[in-house]
């Protein structure tokens, strides 16, 4: 006898090891739910999206349903791994940023920002824009896109700062036309607001996020 399963009938699945079952699509769907739930909690705890953290949130939400991920790696094999700590020296040079998953044929924008400048307890100059690359092909790397703002490494003067990489899927498979928000002046990268910038350029919510922490 065949049993019909409906995901709509499954409420609040717990993130536990699933039993072996021929319904592999069900295992996959529940696994993705657990991953999304864990990621959502991490983003809230880090203050990237609104939640219980007293840190300044950066975006309202993350549209993770596209399946896209951004993999960021600095020299020496230093990988950005959702809140790990990397030193300013380890992250001084431009990293490799690769898009995994997502939709082939689509273009993406990558933004790196520090919302904690100059002091996480009083971020009067946040966000500080560290990198902006548009028109990155799905499955490709930032080096294949258009670098609007060159990478600037961390230099946190006070406290531990969050350095957040946000990946946006561009609409309509069309190249994005964007100007340097700082006008090419490195001293004018402060007070950037990625949420507002993304809205102005029709990007919506980010589809993937990763970040690291750094301090002196």
Spatial separation of the C-alpha atoms in residues 60 and 51, rounded to whole Å: 10
Query: Among residues 91, 90, 109, which one has the least CA distance to residue 99?
Result: 109
What is the percentage of the chain residues whose pLDDT exceeds 90?
70
The pLDDT, as a whole number, for residue 173 is 83
Say which residue the tokens 């930032």 belong to. Answer: 142
Residues 54-73 have pLDDT tens digits of: 888 999 999 977 789 999 99
Q: Which residue has the higher pLDDT, 91 or 37?
A: 91
Spatial separation of the C-alpha atoms in residues 138 and 134, rounded to whole Å: 12
Cis omega before residue 127 (within 30°)? yes
* Token pair for 51: 């939640």
C-alpha 134 chain-centroid distance: 14
Q: Is the pTM of this model over 0.85?
A: no
Domains of the chain: 59-214 (3.90.280.10)
Half-sphere exposure of 76 (CA within 13 A, CB side): 8
């Amino acid at each position: 006898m065949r049993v019909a399963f409906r995901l709509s009938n499954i409420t609040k699945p717990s993130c536990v090891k699933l039993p072996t079952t021929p319904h592999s699509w069900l295992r996959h769907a529940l696994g993705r739910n657990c991953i999304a739930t864990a990621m959502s909690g991490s983003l809230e705890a880090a203050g990237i999206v609104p939640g219980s953290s007293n840190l300044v949130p950066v975006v309202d939400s993350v549209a993770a349903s596209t399946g896209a991920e951004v993999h960021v790696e600095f020299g020496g094999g230093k990988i950005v791994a959702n809140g790990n700590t990397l030193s300013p020296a380890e992250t001084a040079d431009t990293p490799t940023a690769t898009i995994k998953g997502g939709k082939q044929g689509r273009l993406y924008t990558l933004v790196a920002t520090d919302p904690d400048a100059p002091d996480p307890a009083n971020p009067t100059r946040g966000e500080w824009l560290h990198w902006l690359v548009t028109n990155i092909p799905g499955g490709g790397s930032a080096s294949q896109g258009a670098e609007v703002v060159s990478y600037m490494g961390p230099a946190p003067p006070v406290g531990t700062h969050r350095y957040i990489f946000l990946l946006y899927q561009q609409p309509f498979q069309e190249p994005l036309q964007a100007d340097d928000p700082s006008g090419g002046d490195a001293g004018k990268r402060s007070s950037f607001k990625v949420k507002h910038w993304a809205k102005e350029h029709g990007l919506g919510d980010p589809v993937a996020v990763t970040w690291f922490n750094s301090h002196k």
